[in-house]
Amino acid sequence: MARRPDLVGLTVLAMLSVRPAHPYELHRFIVDTHKDYVTGLPRSLYHAVEKLAGQELIVPVETSRQGRRPERTIYEITDEGRRELATRLRALLESPQGERRTFTAAVSLMGVLPVPDALQSLRTRAASLEGELAGLNAHLEALRTSGLPEVLTVELDYERTLSEAELGWIRGLIARLESGELTWSGTVNQGLLAEVLDEQESES
């Protein structure tokens, strides 16, 4: 049985690739930006931070206390953490084998990749989906030719319809990236993301 991708850890790495932050800021950002694929908050977030720190993908850089509030530890991503983030994210963007929620998470965070890398990963996914659809169409045609009642294959038709819709959406996204209609600077739209995190820090 394949391991489920660690979407919470992936999100923590992505957020810390923008700037150092403490877990409460990350929690607020996830909630405020409706990253609904992240479940089990806040426990899952703190567990992910602890695990990533144990793997030395992130490191604590400062501990602060404001008034009577509990101490807050600020973490930053390491060079190894950045490499791991890019590797994990490209894999999730490229493979159509996982849950659709996983692809939602990958698309949500793809701004941490350079545009050419994100574009290449999306092209790889599109090619995989095209191959899967060709095989599925051939399989459905063979079943129908065999005289199997259509009611016994409706679930395959449903899967085909979902895959066709996803492929159409990805092709549109690729076209927007290729034309420059959708783009970002460097490896992430750091200005926007950092601004949101800074607002949260001033409110907390």
**From CA 143, how far away is CA 157, in angstroms rounded?**
12
Residue 190 has pLDDT above 60, yes or no: no
Average pLDDT value over all residues in the chain: 87
Per-residue pLDDT band at 128 (split at 50, 70, 90) = very high
Per-residue pLDDT band at 100 (split at 50, 70, 90) = confident
Q: Are 20 and 198 in contact (CB under 8 A)?
A: no
Over residues 103-116, the mean pLDDT reads 93
> Which range, of 108-112, 120-124, 146-150, averages the lowest pLDDT?
146-150
Residue 65 has pLDDT above 90, yes or no: no
Q: Are 48 and 6 in contact (CB under 8 A)?
A: yes
Of residues 161 and 97, more confidence is placed in: 161
At the topology level, CATH places domain 1-112+187-204 in Arc Repressor Mutant, subunit A (1.10.10)
Max alpha carbon distance in the chain (Å)? 75
Model pLDDT, residue 62: 86
Quickly count: other Cβ atoms within 10 Å of residue 29's Cβ.
Answer: 19
All structural domains of the chain with their residue ranges: 1-112+187-204, 114-185
